[in-house]
Structure 1
Amino acid sequence: MAKSLKDLIEEALEDLEEESLKKFKRKLNEVQPEAGYNRIPRGKLEKADRMDIADHIVSYYLQQYGLSITLQVLEAINEKGVAESLRTNAAAADGASGSTVSVPPPTRSSREGAGAGPRPAGQHFVDQHRQQIISRTTLVEPIIDHLLSAGLLTDEQYERVGTRDTIQNKMRELYSFERGWGEGDKDEFYRALETHNPPLVRDLERQ
């Protein structure tokens, strides 16, 4: 009997170490789903085991979109091998069943220099617009949650940003760590801004 996409998602989660599973749940809760879907509540994920998580993914996103979400989150937490294995297994199950499931292609990793928005030669978007990003960001916590999940901030750095007294000082503290990031890391920072403050990013891109 061919395995369902839910079975394959659960098997992929079984391949994650406990720390990676925590990152997966945190990142899954941050995902902004497409119109027509609701985000999985944080409370349902906090104590969920691998089987529960797979059940929630399929319950909230159905099998096809759930597969896409799962692959997106695995790649975001840098579990590229698990994502590729899931993609291969899903494609094989699709062929064996004769169904029309679409298996999403891999995204270019931020660690592999994926582009992230317009930038002038030699300067990254997040550096070009540093002053405005600091002054116009209205909510820092989702951004640093994203960066912690992606491994760009340590727990200590996360706490240092979070304890600053104003939003602008939190962003200044965050930028003190950004100075040591590579291009791929800055791409991930861009994606965090794009996910959690899309109006600001769109406005800056038009400048």
Structure 2
Amino acid sequence: MPPKNSRQCLDRVLGSLAGEDFDRFVNELVHRQQEPRVLLNRVEGKKHWQVTEVMVATFTASGAVDVAVELLEEISLTSNAEELAALAKACGYKAKPGPGAAAADAPAAAAAPRSEKHFVDRHRRSLIQDLKLVEPILDVLLDHDVINKEMYDEVREEKPASSKMRKLFEYLHGTGDAGKDVFLAALKEQQPYLYKKLLNQSD
């Protein structure tokens, strides 16, 4: 069965790597210097599907494909990089433009500037008011090292849910877009109806 989305494409290609090639990929991933970075303890000894989930949570699905293609090329697995790009393209993925494309698109970007605020920041008020089940999202944030156990416990102690969210936003502010991306991925999975409601508000 062909993959249906970027995450499944990435999972298929990583699963096809031989043991040594997969180890080289993981090693390159944890030594990648650009932010956000993946810590060794999140992927060491993990299966390919677990590494896929970590990458999607860290970079988003399309961003994870960008990173994987880059890393595969760096360790000379060009055919695997090309396979991933082709599979993902069939699922609607668009490759990250290179520096030349960015320069060519500069006039258009100036004419239609993008919002500088992250999706989570734009919908802060609605999230505080409407997100009632905070604990499942806290679990994801803790698992992905966005918050630590002390932060986790402090948020849980707050009452009611709106106060939990205000406290959580204090911590998310210090994580940058990487932490907010993990929060957003958890929101999509745990509270899909609320996510769709916020998405409609953005239109």
TM-score by length of 2: 0.50
Q: 2: distance between equivalents of 1:134 and 1:203?
A: 14
The aligned residue for residue 13 of structure 2 is none
1:191 equivalenced with 2:185 (yes/no): yes
Correspondence for 1:102 among 80, 84, 93: 84
Superposition pairs of residues 44-193 of structure 1, within 5 angstroms: 50=45, 53-54=46-47, 57=48, 66=49, 70-71=51-52, 73-74=54-55, 76-77=57-58, 83=68, 84-86=70-72, 88-89=74-75, 91-92=77-78, 94=80, 101-103=83-85, 121=115, 123-193=117-187
RMSD after superposition: 4.2
Shift of residue 202, structure 1, vs aligned partner: 0.9
1:186 is paired with a residue whose SS is helix
94 and 72 in structure 1: CA distance in 2 versus 1, 3 angstrom threshold: same
Query: Amino acid of the residue matched to residue 136 of structure 2?
Result: P
Query: Amino acid of the residue matched to residue 17 of structure 2?
Result: L
Shift of residue 203, structure 1, vs aligned partner: 0.7
177 and 89 in structure 1: CA distance in 2 versus 1, 3 angstrom threshold: same
1:5 equivalenced with 2:17 (yes/no): yes
The aligned residue for residue 20 of structure 1 is 39
Q: 1: distance between equivalents of 2:155 and 2:55?
A: 26
TM-score by length of 1: 0.49
Q: Which runs of 5+ in 1 are unaligned?
A: 25-48, 58-65, 109-119
Higher helix content, 1 or 2: 2
Q: Which runs of 5+ in 2 are unaligned?
A: 1-15, 32-37, 97-113
Query: Amino acid of the residue matched to residue 5 of structure 1?
Result: L
10 and 170 in structure 1: CA distance in 2 versus 1, 3 angstrom threshold: same
Shift of residue 132, structure 1, vs aligned partner: 2.2
Shift of residue 142, structure 1, vs aligned partner: 3.3
1:127-158, Cα deviation, whole Å (9 max, x unpaired): 33223212322432332233334443233212
Q: 1: distance between equivalents of 2:78 and 2:146?
A: 34
